[in-house]
Amino acid sequence: MALNVENITPGGQDSASPSSGATYRNPVLAEDWPDPDVVRVGEDYYLVASSRHRSPGLPVLHSRDLLSWHLLTHALPRVAPDSYGELPRHGAGVWAPSIRHHDGQFHIAYADPDRGIFVTSATDPAGPWSPPRLLLGGLGLIDPCPLWAADGRTWLVHGWARSRAGVTNRLTMIEVDAALTRPLGPGSVIVDAEEIDGRGDLAGPTLDERDGWYWIFALAGGAAGGVQTVLRARDPLGPYEHRVVLAHRDTPDHGPHRGSWVDTPDGDDFFVHAGDADAFGQVLHVQPMTWRDGWPVLGDPVPGQTWGQPVAEHPTPHGTAAGARSLLAADDFRGPLDPRWHWQADAGQWAEASGGRLRMLGPAADAGNLRTLPSVLGQPLPALGVHLSTTVRLDGPTASRAGLGVLGLDYGWIGLVRTEGGCDLVVATRGEGDRDERRVVLDRLPSQSEVAVGLDVDTAARVRFRIRRDAGWEQVGPETTATRGRGVGAELVVFAGAPLGAVPATGRFGALEARLDQGVPMLATGRTPGTPLRLRAGAEPVATLDDGRSMRTVDAPRPFLHPVRTTAGVPVTEVAPTDHLHHHGVSMAPADVDGVTFWGGRTYVRDQGSTMLANQGRQTVLDQVADDDRWSGTIAWTDPAGREMAREQRLVVAEPLPGRDDAWRLRWRSTLTPTERVSIGSPATNGRPGAFYGGWFWRTPFGDPQVLVADGEGMDAAHGGTSPWLALCDDVASLVAVQRGPVLPWFVRTGKYTGFGPALAVDRRLEITPERPLEVAVDVLVLDGPADRERVLALVEATGD
């Protein structure tokens, strides 16, 4: 069942109305995404970050607006190709990657400071990514970034790690082949910062070419107290001029750390970078970027200086609402582990999530220090105030253990330790320099006991532990303070382990519940807004729900389903096709609600035709509950000024059909209640005959499907007709839509594109009031393969409940 994740009202954060005047606050992700690099391809942004020793490695994030990010994949299933990565190697692994797109391929260049610079490539950023290939071997090579120059040559800039190479504070440029497989000659030191006053610890370069200049953005002066420096030259090998372009100075923001220059499709420039947040690691900031005397200035320009200061708040780059400020995943453990979990080393067969339980194998690798145990599952600790709870049970030899904790150079945890006669419920802490853990025994329990444990971390990184007794939750044990790890921020973890030489242990955890003090609410499944949610019909994932936060303002942002697939995996929806960029899968999209369009794009104006107006509304999810097969929520419909016009209660359910593996059913129920009387129209009611689109709408990828209705076939029989069902039958898939309740005329379009839905306003406008809301009830049977009338009728009859 779904987790009960509490919805928290934003405490002064991200509270701007979701309109074109919306603002965001830094950091946009208030948790550890170290050494970020961003590339834009079309209207999509992709971000990579250091993962260090954690596995899987190389997280790839996606956004449509630089604010709402979700985890797309990990490009590295394993940190190391051999057994080296099977034990935690704190401080080693993946350092400061960069992501670039060239000639139809994405490339990620990253450093392993103990081996060299590697590259992995993919045509789709969601993967699969190629096995990493060594581009440049050597100790201490870090922070790589490639550039395909306008003259056809390819360059790679990188820095140096003193801990491995014995040198630092230098940037080296080397020419490589366009496929990033080999160097074409020796590298040249292009900048030796020891020769530049005040530019110590130069690192984290990113490389660009614009307007005849080669630009390098780099951190100088260290992560916590440094500045962002820009260097430019007419030749990639120099000589380079330099300027400070961002300094925190009088602001509370530390850093700025590594970052990258990215522009929007409209040509606005931004700088996405990490900022030091002590125990919480490197949090993600977005700075506006302006130009002065041919040089960039980042953040809020400081009069009389070459640099700016970090902005605390700024208008959103795309006019979209600010996104979730944490990707923390609660997990109901009903299926595969949420991909936002990672291990402290390359994983063995250590965990299985099913039936609402996480079964974690604790290998006999526990020497008493949680930092050396590989079977530790973690997520970044948000700097927003976080509360976690779960249940734990432990089976295993004496001295085995399992628990919930916060891991850094120092750590603390609460959980069970196996004894000769049962289990001890303990709180344990350990400092980086301690020889042993300090344990406080809270209770002595029978061996098969299951206990409910929790922890709370505030914005000052103070950690408190709690247990649930009959009377409720009770704070217990000593407090501790979270600290950062080696190259990463503190992590929230669950773990199990057994002593060296013993038999393995097994820790069993119940659903992990989580909530934040600040930021936007988390979905009940632990997926933060902006993160797509998969629905299953039985065991098969068949539909993905997106809350629409990353849609363009001009497209009328709204929650939508895409992709929707048959049980065999054939997609039956489209998003942002070139003919109509505002079409988004399956959604509620009336074209005219008191003059506001929730259809998106242009509006038909009588005597003017299709006209681009600034009248696009927005649908924002206020609260929601999700399970494997269903989603329900409350959605606010607002006009361009952010004024609420209506609220919708929506239920979406994916159901298998008994005895069939070639079909499933989507149920959609919506009740739209306006705040006051409103009138719903369409282009047809506004003077364009036959164009009564707008309402519940499904955009398909079908080319020229056969159209069937109860009393005929073809467009003439279907469009504007009131058949209780409508079928679109293509060669590889078919859709059968059934209206439940009063039947509205169908809008059907084939030819230039294929889409359909019940029409709300055919020849006259529809008025709804708080007392008479709009009810929409549609079932859609999603079929593999083509369907004839006989197959359609049999399915409609069999599912006529």
276: nearest Cα among 22, 33, 630, 601: 33
Tokens linked to 170? 């230098």
**Residue 212 near residue 167 (C-beta atoms within 8 A):** no
518: nearest Cα among 728, 281, 322, 782: 322
Q: What pLDDT was estimated at residue 529? A: 42
Q: What pLDDT was estimated at residue 713? A: 95
230-237, long-range: CB < 8 A, 24+ apart: 230/295, 230/296, 231/191, 232/295, 233/190, 236/147, 236/149, 236/153, 236/155, 236/173, 236/190, 237/173, 237/188, 237/190
Band (pLDDT 50/70/90 cuts) for residue 800 is confident
Indicate the SS3 state at residue 111.
Answer: strand
Residue 366 is given by DSSP the state B
**Residue 413 near residue 357 (C-beta atoms within 8 A):** no
**372-407, pLDDT tens digit by residue?**
999 999 999 999 999 999 999 999 999 999 999 999
- The strand pair at 663-674 and 774-784 is best described as antiparallel
**Residue 106 near residue 46 (C-beta atoms within 8 A):** yes
Q: What pLDDT was estimated at residue 338? A: 87
Size (the chain), residues = 801
Query: Cα(first)–Cα(last) distance of the chain, in Å?
Result: 25
Tokens 């984290």 correspond to what residue?
204
Q: What pLDDT was estimated at residue 9? A: 26
Tokens linked to 603? 């509006």
Q: Average per-residue pLDDT in the chain?
A: 90
CA distance 498 to 29: 36
**Residue 47 near residue 323 (C-beta atoms within 8 A):** no
Tokens linked to 789? 């009338």
Average pLDDT rounded to a whole number, residues 187-207: 84
Count other Cβ atoms within 10 Å, centred on residue 393: 18
Tokens linked to 663? 């079909």
**350-375, pLDDT tens digit by residue?**
899 988 899 999 999 999 999 999 99
**165-188, pLDDT tens digit by residue?**
988 889 999 999 999 999 999 999
Signed CA dihedral, 593, 595, 598, 604: sign only: positive
**755-766, pLDDT tens digit by residue?**
999 999 999 999
Helix or strand holding residue 797 (H, E): helix 789-798
pLDDT of 428 strictly over 60: yes
- Outline where DSSP puts E strands in 211-281: 213-220, 227-233, 241-247, 259-263, 269-276
Q: What pLDDT was estimated at residue 5? A: 31
Between the alpha carbon of residue 612 and those of residues 144, 322, 336, 602, 618, the distances in Å are 44, 25, 45, 4, 16
Find residue 669's DSSP bridge partners.
Answer: 651, 777
Write the Ramachandran bin of 695: left for phi over 0, alpha for psi from -120 to 50, otherwise beta.
Answer: left
Share of the chain above pLDDT 90, in %: 76
CA distance 39 to 58: 15
Tokens linked to 604? 């038909």
Find residue 320's DSSP bridge partners.
Answer: none
Q: What pLDDT was estimated at residue 526? A: 35
CA distance 75 to 650: 36
Burial track 724-755 (b if 16+ CB lie within 10 A, e otherwise): ebbbbbbeebbbbbbbbeeebbbbbbbeebbb
Q: What pLDDT was estimated at residue 641? A: 86
Signed CA dihedral, 413, 414, 416, 417: sign only: positive
Q: What pLDDT was estimated at residue 568? A: 92
Q: What pLDDT was estimated at residue 221? A: 76
Between the alpha carbon of residue 29 and those of residues 316, 352, 486, 507, the distances in Å are 14, 29, 20, 31
Tokens linked to 94? 């993946």
Can you spell out the DSSP letters for 610-667?
Answer: EE--S-B-EEEEEEEEEETTEEEEEEEEE-TTS-EEEEEEEEEEEEEPTT-SSEEEEE
700: nearest Cα among 649, 661, 754: 754
Between the alpha carbon of residue 462 and those of residues 12, 84, 384, the distances in Å are 21, 34, 12
CA distance 279 to 301: 29
- The strand pair at 133-137 and 116-122 is best described as antiparallel
Average pLDDT rounded to a whole number, residues 445-469: 95
738: nearest Cα among 746, 749, 729: 746
Three-state secondary structure readout of 525-594: CCCCCCCCEEEEECCEEEEEEECCCCCCHHHCCCCEEEEEECCCCCECCCECCCCCCCCECEEEECCEEC
Band (pLDDT 50/70/90 cuts) for residue 255 is low
Helix or strand holding residue 74 (H, E): strand 70-76
CA distance 77 to 91: 19
Q: By CB neighbour count within 10 A (0-12 exposed, 13-18 middle, 19+ buried), where does 401 fall?
A: buried
Tokens linked to 769? 């009031």
**315-337, pLDDT tens digit by residue?**
999 888 777 889 998 888 887 88
Tokens linked to 164? 């491995």
729: nearest Cα among 740, 718, 739: 718
**Residue 652 near residue 666 (C-beta atoms within 8 A):** yes
Average pLDDT rounded to a whole number, residues 455-462: 94
Between the alpha carbon of residue 219 and those of residues 231, 275, 430, the distances in Å are 11, 11, 33
Band (pLDDT 50/70/90 cuts) for residue 197 is low
**Residue 379 near residue 328 (C-beta atoms within 8 A):** yes
pLDDT of 544 strictly over 60: yes
Q: What pLDDT was estimated at residue 18? A: 32
Indicate the SS3 state at residue 114.
Answer: coil
CA distance 514 to 7: 10
**688-715, pLDDT tens digit by residue?**
999 999 999 999 999 999 999 999 999 9
Can you spell out the DSSP letters for 371-398?
Answer: GG-S-EEEEE--TT-EEEEEEEEEESST
Torsion of CA 33, 34, 39, 40, to 10 degrees: 30
Q: Which residue has the higher pLDDT, 170 or 524?
A: 170
CA distance 103 to 82: 32
pLDDT of 13 strictly over 50: no
**53-72, pLDDT tens digit by residue?**
999 999 999 999 999 898 99
Signed CA dihedral, 496, 500, 504, 505: sign only: negative
**Residue 402 near residue 493 (C-beta atoms within 8 A):** no
CA distance 681 to 673: 16
